[in-house]
Structure 1
Amino acid sequence: MNEQTPHTPSRRKVLRTTAAAGTGLGIGALGSVNAEAATGTAPATPPEAATTTVPRRLGATMAGVPFTGRSTVRVGLIGLGNRGNGMIGLYLALPWVRVVAVCDPVREKAERAAAKVVAAGQPAPAVYTKGEEDYENLCARSDIDFVHVATPWDSHFPIARAAMLAGKHVGVECPVAMRLEELWSLVDLSEQTRRHCMQLENCCYGRNEMRVLRMAHAGKFGTILHGAGAYNHDLRGLMFSPTYYEGPWRRLWHTRLKGDLYPNHGFGPVANYMDINRGDRAVSISSFGTPALGLAEYREEHMPAGDPSWKETYIGSDRTISLVQTAKGRVIRLEHDVSTPHPYSRINSLGGTRGVFEDYPARIYLEPDHKDDQWADFSAYAGEFDHWLWKEHANPPGGHGGMDYIMVYRLMQCMRLGLPPDFDVYDAATWTAPVPLSHASIKAKGAPQEIPDFTRGEWRKARSGVDSVKPA
């Protein structure tokens, strides 16, 4: 069932009215702002933080808006590299989901994805491989309900925009966009088209993260005071690999931005613990960065003379540390480091007046359960506080410890049953805002940057999120 209705505004009207909202942000008409993004090319200059003036709402809020229920959810996947190709099997594992179309400018990748669909017993999907913008033809199909975007970061915004304008709900891999004005545009488009635009933040569905979330909501930590999240992951070898990524696009972002390029994995779970956009709000961010030395040193040790990477000048801080303040006075610490050697960690910490949890490794200390300043076994809380999704799917398939499957299962379940999504465009914009804002703060020697209220005041209202009730 296609959800396009007579009440859905036309593409022309959305473009016109969203451009009008853009002038209130000082960003000009939508088309001119995103002309280079629509080509799939990276910006020539770093995406600076724009003014955070809140434009008037051009459509009703999307907070708490349910999907239209359907017996079968029809999916189109755009971007079939490492991430996109790895996600196909998770959709195919759900009997009420059909993969209708796949898209990638590299034909071999699209054909490999299509073969997986056929091998799973579904009809052969339509294949779109005619250039960087063939995704528009996929989005224009009338038999797609949801579009999954797993492409290089600079193309996330134009593809999400095209999907919503074509009447599709869209989920985007992290980060959802790279510029503040693009985040506002996605919010406006979601509200006008009445289509959800979601950050596909798998870490929100990690078993530990969901257990901490339920414990926080049950009051086990007392009054929440602080949290921390990170993406500390040594990616030097992958970023210089000639085959892992399709070209050097990810490494090149380190020549353009000084700040946190990938805040979502750390920010999303902690934002859920604190009910950000559901009773509290992130209001400002102050960021600090180290010198950019790691990638250049790795290149010197591992890359031959004449390699194209020798033409690159890296400015991205090897480690970025940001402090986010919330409306209730709580503090969130974010870290990002993909350029130096260290074990993987998302930190994933939460503290309150009754105790603290820290991950990597998982450990907990709560009063009155624990004493003598000794960390306790976090697994002892599994029986009481594991989320129903993890109790129902104790050994989920797929990567990242099963969180990818849990995320896909829950999103597709919400679409099938006509439930609101666990998170929405406001969460996507908030969790991604540190990308441009941390860059601006570091350039300003740590000066605080305002995080916009993308909800336009709706954050004051309590509502459900990832800590969901199991459907009947």
Structure 2
Amino acid sequence: MNNNTFDRRNFLKLSSAAIGGIALNAGLTGVLASPVRKVGEKKTIKLGFVGLGGRGSYHLSAALGIPDVEVKALCEIVPDRLEQAKKWVSEYGQPAPNLYGRGPMDYVRLCEEEDLDAVICATPWDSHSAICLAAMRNDKHAACEVPLVQTLEEAWELVETHEKTGKWASIVIGGFGDLTLLNMVRNDLLGDILHLESGYIHDLRKVKFDPEGEPWRLAYTAIRNGNLYPDHPMRNMMPILNINHGDRFDYLVSMSTKSVMINQYAAAKFGPDSEYATKKLTLGDYNATLIRTTNGKLITLNHDTHTPHPREDFRVQGTKGVYVRDKSRSRIYLDEVSPESHEWESPDKYLEKFAHPIDLNYKPAPRRSGPIRGHGQQSSTTPINWHRLVLALQEEKMPDWDVYDSVTSSAIIPLTELSVNNKSKPVDFPDFTKGNWKTRKPIYS
């Protein structure tokens, strides 16, 4: 395999090694003209939800507390979840939504039959791109949990469908970046950024064996090896380095350790003869990936969901200093500025000084009567990414993360698999913007 010839045809061939999406039957429809509204009148946003587990119910609860949002349709394969979600919609005084629960492909019928502005997708990973494509091909935008794609073919198909239909798919609901850190960087506090290090470092052994949690993650452990969850760190890394907006990912190399921790965990919890105590697994317990950008910047991206550890966070190294964001002790060092040479100082005064205007000017919808339900931040305030998603739909603009940024973030998954499976040889990164990265306006600008 020649890793340096990544044209469209080669992407389609290589992506067959990864898990594919669900086949679609949805037909392509034209882009409809927007209705004329009075100046200052807010458009009512009509949403359909596909997947109503922990994250899906969280997103539903978040959306129901936002003015000018109507939930028109719900799709879920578990009947109890579907009925619970219907009840939540009724509790907010909205008309009963249409329900789609005939099976795992019923989202196609929802996309074909419903008049919606966007479909919200929060299903297991392997169906994300298929659901988004069904929405886009039926004149609807799609906001999706991470990751958006599992294969390179899916990534290109989403880009091409967006360019044909004018509809977008975005990971905007997958989280929101640290805008204060971004503002520090853009105001040159740390100088020219040379290196970022972060990753998804989250002990998920218990979650993977919980039938009420996300047991489908365990299936990937048996058959895939690479960085399977890059999007959480990417939501900070890509804006800081202006990826797709002045710079782009050039190539990566990826390496994984052996896999022993899931076997040991299963043996301790379920006995030495249990299935996963003896099953040969593929996913290395720790994956480290190096990504180099066209402008000579470097990322160290880590993935570890198997070893015992607390959560880890973020390191930014620039020519003028370094910042480490950590839940237990964030710290900063600025050359010729910090009080003590080669000694950390508290970042508090810098965090206050460089608070981002988007955060400072955020005026969320009125507080709810109770916290948002489901798997997510238990707050009574509308999440800023949901606020900005609805605003983008009302103003008929792109969300903060457009389809090019969204597929770039998730395409790391199959690219790391290619590198790991080829003895960590470099793999070229596709340019989903087709050269437009040189002039695209920065995210959050």
TM-score, structure 2 as length reference: 0.86
Does 1:434 pair with 2:402? Answer: no
Tell whether the 8 Å contact from 2:239 to 2:442 is kept in structure 1 after alignment: no
Does 1:204 pair with 2:170? Answer: no
Q: Distance in 1 between matches of 2:346 and 2:117?
A: 43
What residue identity is the alignment partner of 1:405?
Answer: P
Tell whether the 8 Å contact from 2:261 to 2:306 is kept in structure 1 after alignment: yes
Give 1:306 shift. Answer: 7.2
Q: What is the match of residue 38 of structure 1?
A: 22
Does 1:215 pair with 2:187? Answer: no
Say what the alpha-carbon RMSD is for the aligned residues: 2.8
Q: What percent of counterpart residues are identical? A: 32
Of 306, 320, 345 in structure 2, the residue corresponding to residue 376 of structure 1 is 345
Q: 1:190 to 1:312 in 2, by over 3 A?
A: farther
Give 1:163 shift. Answer: 0.9
Give 1:453 shift. Answer: 0.3
Q: What is the match of residue 11 of structure 1?
A: none
Give 1:35 shift. Answer: 11
**3-state secondary structure, aligned to 2:194:** strand
Give 1:23 shift. Answer: 7.2
> What are the Cα deviations for residues 322-356 of structure 1, in whole angstroms up to 9, with x where unaligned?
000000000011000001100012x3222211111
Gaps of 5+ in 2: 1-6, 25-33
Q: Distance in 2 between matches of 1:35 and 1:276?
A: 26
Q: Distance in 2 between matches of 1:393 and 1:112?
A: 31
Does 1:241 pair with 2:225? Answer: no
Tell whether the 8 Å contact from 2:292 to 2:298 is kept in structure 1 after alignment: yes
Q: What is the match of residue 357 of structure 1?
A: 323
What residue identity is the alignment partner of 1:93?
Answer: G
Q: How many positions carry a matched residue from both structures?
A: 413
Q: What is the match of residue 391 of structure 1?
A: 360
What residue identity is the alignment partner of 1:417?
Answer: E
Q: Distance in 2 between matches of 1:33 and 1:254?
A: 15
**3-state secondary structure, aligned to 1:90:** helix
TM-score, structure 1 as length reference: 0.81
Alignment of 1:154-233 (within 5 A): 154-200=126-172, 202-205=174-177, 209-233=178-202
Give 1:450 shift. Answer: 0.7
Does 1:111 pair with 2:87? Answer: no
Q: Distance in 2 between matches of 1:324 and 1:380?
A: 32
Give 1:375 shift. Answer: 2.1
Give 1:307 shift. Answer: 5.3
What residue identity is the alignment partner of 1:297?
Answer: Q
Gaps of 5+ in 1: 1-21, 41-65
Of 218, 241, 257 in structure 2, the residue corresponding to residue 251 of structure 1 is 218
> What are the Cα deviations for residues 351-385 of structure 1, in whole angstroms up to 9, with x where unaligned?
21111111123222224541322222223234332
What residue identity is the alignment partner of 2:292?
Answer: Q
Give 1:141 shift. Answer: 3.2
Q: What is the match of residue 366 of structure 1?
A: 334
Give 1:407 shift. Answer: 1.1
Tell whether the 8 Å contact from 1:149 to 1:171 is kept in structure 2 after alignment: yes
Give 1:439 shift. Answer: 1.3
**3-state secondary structure, aligned to 1:284:** strand
Give 1:199 shift. Answer: 1.6
Q: What is the match of residue 331 of structure 1?
A: 298
Q: Distance in 1 between matches of 2:115 and 2:278?
A: 45
Q: Distance in 1 between matches of 2:138 and 2:56?
A: 21
